[in-house]
Amino acid sequence: SNARFTLDPAFTVGEVNPRLFGSFVEHLGRCVYTGIFEPDHPSADEAGLRTDVLELVRELGVTAVRYPGGNFVSGYRWEDSVGPAEERPRRLDLAWRSTETNRFGLSEFMAFLGKIGPQAEPMMAVNLGTRGVAEALELQEYANHPAGTALSDRRIAHGDKDPFGIRLWCLGNEMDGPWQTGHKTAEEYGRLAAETARAMRQIDPGLELVACGSSSQAMPTFATWEATVLQEAYDLVDHISLHAYYEEIDGDRDSFLASAVDMESFIENVVATCDHVGARLKSKKRIQLSFDEWNVWYMKRFEAENTANPLDWPEAPRLLEDNYSVTDAVVFGSLLIALLRHADRVTVACLAQLVNVIAPIMTEPGGPAWRQTTFFPFAQASRYGRGEVLDVRADSPTYRTAAYGEVPLLHATAVRDKDTGAVTVFAVNRSQSDPLPLRIALTGLDVTHVEEHSVLSDADPEARNTLAEPERVVPHAGEGAVLAGGVLDVTLEPLSWNVIRLA
Ligand code: AHR
């Protein structure tokens, strides 16, 4: 049977914040070293940045970039990463049992963002694992104060005359996780986050601050953690973070394809928790959600390998270099749809991560850079998912999953460009075997034709792009989409990600 919904500009979810298309650069594996930064690479510029990677990052359409971690940040000594490169100390990175050379640091990161273009914005994390209020303030002074103090003058002496102007800051990373260096209880973290936020605002009240929420909805402290932290920090922070990674478990592909069911419930449960605290505090303020780590990640494989062979402090080892299939890209697209469907409250999101480490872009040291399957849904969503999200309430046939019960085969959202009136529908068909006919009724919209129907699917759902075959998977044009008399009829291929542009 058919899936159907109605689009009407009178019924909207909210405006898409460009920060929804953020990403994440952590000092982990080869994300930085031989990923974005490789001075000996034939494509490297004067700053040691790989221009082949920069080009792909621009094409990906990345906005906010979170840095420098992740788990790495909980042992981060920011001052090691600035000043003359040859004088920077080598340090143990406890999070990934690697050696950090500090050859790439804050100044290099800011130069990297500048070269992506004006849409790129830093999202800087402070260390609340091994450190606290004082070091956060020092980093803020070094980065943002114009001149005339010890730390701002040190930045100028290091060659960065202009302050970096970093507005968006994360107060630590995954402090609820026992794996985190300096892990804390919700009470301990809530107090530290509140006092760090208060002090940072003494320098600059205009900062936007993100408190750590839960590392996943499955954490035993989920929701209590958020409520406890916000009870302390509600008036002092703007966002609470969410992290989620999905993978196929025990060959249960049907449940894997429904991963966005978990992501949407996670978002809705965090909204409910934030608003509950707001109600208790009699506050009119609404806390925004920063989904600052999300992706498909074969975490179980990583944990098994890592437990069997713990690393012996190598430099830039190959870690978390997942190679994504077409199936992974369809799930990934569905996660993007989940974020867009909640654009009223999710105002920051970061795809974890950007290069080599669970990433849409892969590189070989000294060799090429290429796009994984997940590159395409992200680039298309960032390019066409700008404007106002229309409220999509779909009627869809369902299928049975072990993890989530009955789940709609269709997962969809639509975004309207307010200037041109153009509408883009993003849709996933979760069926592994059957095409899904979809009818969309359009009312009050000024669109007359299908500009493009782009499809990511493959006869082999395991198909992937690799070093040997970097363009094995690319989107293709869909067939048969017709818009007539205010009704769009289209058939979605089995296990497919679809971008339907109406103008
Ligand atoms: O993105 C990889 C890791 O996942 C991050 O370092 C951490 O924050 C999360 O557990």
pLDDT beyond 90 at 78: yes
pLDDT of 309 reads 87
Tokens 């109406």 locate to 502
Report the residue among 65, 127, 174 best suited for mutation to probe ligand 1: largest number of ligand atoms under 8 A from its CB.
Answer: 174
Judge: domain 17-132+168-181+211-220+242-271+287-384, CATH 3.20.20.80.
yes
3-state secondary structure of 458: coil
Residue tagged active-site, from 174, 226, 264, 493: 174
Ligand 1 atom 1, closest CA: 352
**Per-residue pLDDT reduced to its tens digit, 7-65:** 999 999 999 999 999 999 999 999 999 999 999 999 999 999 999 999 999 999 999 99
**Per-residue pLDDT reduced to its tens digit, 341-377:** 999 999 999 999 999 999 999 999 999 999 999 999 9
C-alpha distances in angstroms, 224 versus 181, 287, 421, 431?
A: 21, 16, 43, 36
Q: Give the confidence band of 305 by pLDDT, cuts at 50, 70, 90.
A: confident
| Topology adopted by domain 3-9+391-502 | Immunoglobulin-like (2.60.40)
pLDDT beyond 90 at 308: no
Q: For the chain, give every domain's residue range.
A: 3-9+391-502, 17-132+168-181+211-220+242-271+287-384
Residue 309 C-alpha to ligand 1 middle, in angstroms?
19
Contact of 358 with 395, CB cutoff 8 Å: no
Contact of 46 with 108, CB cutoff 8 Å: no
Q: Does any ligand 1 atom lie closer than 6 A to the CB of residue 292?
A: no
**Per-residue pLDDT reduced to its tens digit, 111-122:** 999 999 999 999
Residue 70 C-alpha to ligand 1 middle, in angstroms?
5
293 labelled catalytic? yes
What does the pLDDT average to over 166-179? Answer: 98
pLDDT of 147 reads 98
Q: Does any ligand 1 atom lie closer than 6 A to the CB of residue 217?
A: no
Q: Positive or negative, the Cα torsion across 128, 130, 132, 137?
A: negative
ipTM of the complex: 0.99
Q: Give the confidence band of 307 by pLDDT, cuts at 50, 70, 90.
A: confident
Q: Give the confidence band of 499 by pLDDT, cuts at 50, 70, 90.
A: very high
Whole-number percent of the chain with pLDDT over 70? 100
Q: Does any ligand 1 atom lie closer than 6 A to the CB of residue 362?
A: no
Residue 464 C-alpha to ligand 1 middle, in angstroms?
24
From CA 90, how far away is CA 81, in angstroms rounded? 10
Ligand 1 atom 5, closest CA: 70
pLDDT of 369 reads 98
